[in-house]
Amino acid sequence: MIVLLDGVARWHGAQAEHVIHWSRVDVEGRDISLPVETDRRVERIRDEYLTWVRAFGETPVEGRPLKDHVILAPGLSLWWMTLLAEKSPMKSPVIWQVFKLRALELVTETMGMLAFVYCGPNPLLAAIFRRWCEQGGRAFSWERRGRRPRGDGRVSLGRRVSRLPHRLQGLIWVWHSWWRRWRRIPRRRTEPVVGPTLVTYVPNLDLEALKAGRFRSHYWNGLHEVLEKRASGVNWVWLYTPTSQLSLRGTVRACRRLNRKGGRDRFFMLEEFLPARAPWAISRRFWRLSGEGRRLGARPLRFRLGDSRIDFEPLMAHDWAASLYGIAAAEAVAYAAMFERLAVRLPARPWGCYLWENQPWEQALVAAWRRDPKASVIANEHDVLKPLNLRLFADPPTYEDTGPSAPPLPHLLAVNGAHAERHLARAGFPAKRMVATEALRFQTLAAAKPAPEQPAARTLLLVTGYLEGETRFQLRLVASAARLGGLRFFERVLVKGHPFLPVKPIIESMRMPFNYEVSARPLTELFPLAAVAVMANSTGAVLDAAFAGVSVVVCDALDGFDFSPLRGLEQVRKVANGHDLVEALKAPLRVVLPDDFFHLDPELGRWRRLIEALDSVAAETEARP
């Protein structure tokens, strides 16, 4: 008999040959941690999952691929904007559950399982396990114990709205967006300049430069100076993301102020390109599309990986419905409407560039720009590539699709280092679409000075991430290590929070058993002080620590994907409990990165050559009849 414990500490029933924990990482004795076993097999399961996503979109429906039935606009299928095709574990936490189901099947295939007991609160998992056992001729029982956690990280407008039919949720999302955001952004007739268009997130700005009337984004850093040397200005399109740095109203004012200054560049907020009577127009378009989506969603489709016998449709049903005729579909319609109008006023001539993360809005932008045969669309890989960020990868045949519903791909992907280039090439991304450029967001690393071998003050630095659950897990690990005496090696503990998640309220609510100081100083000033830095699993700041020569300890992903950009490097110490952290703090290791991990030329020679080539090709193209 195999027992699976979900949110239950111990099994007190009949004798079990194997006890498997659904969520726990730190297990005792011969018990098996499913998150750990999933991580050991994650590359294999990732490949199976990417293959399934491609095959799912190509599923024949009435003689045509599924993706051909939901065309949003010429060259743009809704399929590529669905949660399934996006593959974001942040938006779709169920993806990790699917990976664990596949790992469970692989772990148990040699155990000679005759009976399976699920001890937990989740009825969806119970239904999946029951069907799996029935197909394999095994006995199944469900002991309903524990409390099912509230919320799962999905986009929602509240518990009451989430209980409504998906099509109604989509309509509510449209009008909610209009009331809370769209109507607050005036639609002006700012005349664009004849020059390239760059689409970027805002804030993450240099606020001092903004006060002086200059736009400087940390996403682009030194490229601003390169662009200023061109003959023409630049059209900047802002995608506002709520942060503590700048409010929506403040962002609107900043955009207006920069345009009034009358410089070379022009600035636009994406919502300025909404159609007239936006909520009505988008609601009508969504209602027509969601009708076809609802019809497709009612069909039986294959929700299985490779040769697996586990059907995970109950877990994916919500995301699939939301994508076809719910909130995700309504959001896709809104993006398509805005970028269609944007592409008319701001074509990708001589070229257009955007921040590459493979999010749904990017599909709408690229498709709209590429309808112009003279356009040149460049994607900027602005972040560090994380090997398990599924959103950045696809099954290789996906890139060969040339049909009417093919994925909207940029003409070129500006890759910021050999680390990313190796991973993308290994995953099948076409080499002809990649061009090497400098890592704009990480240029400060070139000047990073290694920390001294023994800092004068024995300081422990905690660098947290942008997920609250991850931050609390990290702080619990440090608290556990403190109780075990692991912090006796240090005279001082500094805590640096993520800009998108203030850490002070969280750490104050947890009543830590050690003295600490929450610092607002930049990491470049904190790393030289630190003997060891304990990093959140998902934060890219671990790279700054490595370049600065600081010994690092990386927290485990707990029950989720390992998003550390240093995954796979031998010198990286990962910890999942207080005991592991104590041992890591006793003998911390410095991480040595390859010289070509990032391209860090401060002169941005690669970007300069790319821009010159794009301008030259555009001039030749425009000269043709």
Instruction: Break the chain into its structural domains and give their ranges.
Output: 2-148+297-329, 182-272+336-442+604-623, 447-586
45 or 110, higher pLDDT = 45
Residues 279/182, Cβ–Cβ less than 8 Å: yes
Rounded Cα gap, residues 601 and 606, in angstroms? 8
Indicate the pLDDT class of residue 183, thresholds 50, 70 and 90.
Answer: very high
Of the candidate ranges 3-17, 229-243, 327-341, the one whose mean pLDDT is the lowest = 3-17
Is residue 451 pLDDT above 60, yes or no? no
Vertex 54 angle, CA 134 and 128, to 5°:
20
**Which pTM was predicted?**
0.90
How is residue 572 written in tokens?
A: 């990286």
Can you tell me the mean pLDDT for 438-465?
Answer: 77
Whether residue 148 has pLDDT greater than 80: no
| pLDDT band of 454, cuts 50, 70, 90 | low
Q: In this structure, how many other beta carbons lie within 10 angstroms of the beta carbon of residue 256?
A: 15
* Ramachandran angles phi, psi of 335, nearest 5°: -60, -45
Q: Does this chain's domain 182-272+336-442+604-623 share its CATH topology with 447-586?
A: yes
For the chain, give the mean pLDDT: 91
Burial class (CB in 10 A: 0-12, 13-18, 19+), 315: buried
CA angle 514/510/479 to nearest 5° reads: 40
- Region class of 535: left (phi > 0), else alpha (psi between -120 and 50), else beta: beta
- pLDDT of the residue at 154: 57
Q: Distance between CA 417 and CA 600 in Å, rounded?
A: 9
| Protein fold of 182-272+336-442+604-623 | Rossmann fold (3.40.50)
- Assess contact for 460 and 490: CB atoms under 8 A: yes
d(CA 330, CA 319): 13
CA distance 523 to 137: 57
pLDDT computed for residue 453 by the predictor: 53
Residue 160: per-residue pLDDT: 83
- Please report which confidence band the pLDDT of residue 244 belongs to, taking 50, 70 and 90 as the band edges: confident
C-alpha to C-alpha distance for 42 and 464, rounded to whole angstroms: 25
Per residue in 89-103, pLDDT (tens digit) is 889 999 999 999 999
Q: For residues 581 and 553, what is the distance between their CA atoms, to the nearest angstrom?
A: 8
CATH class of 447-586: alpha beta
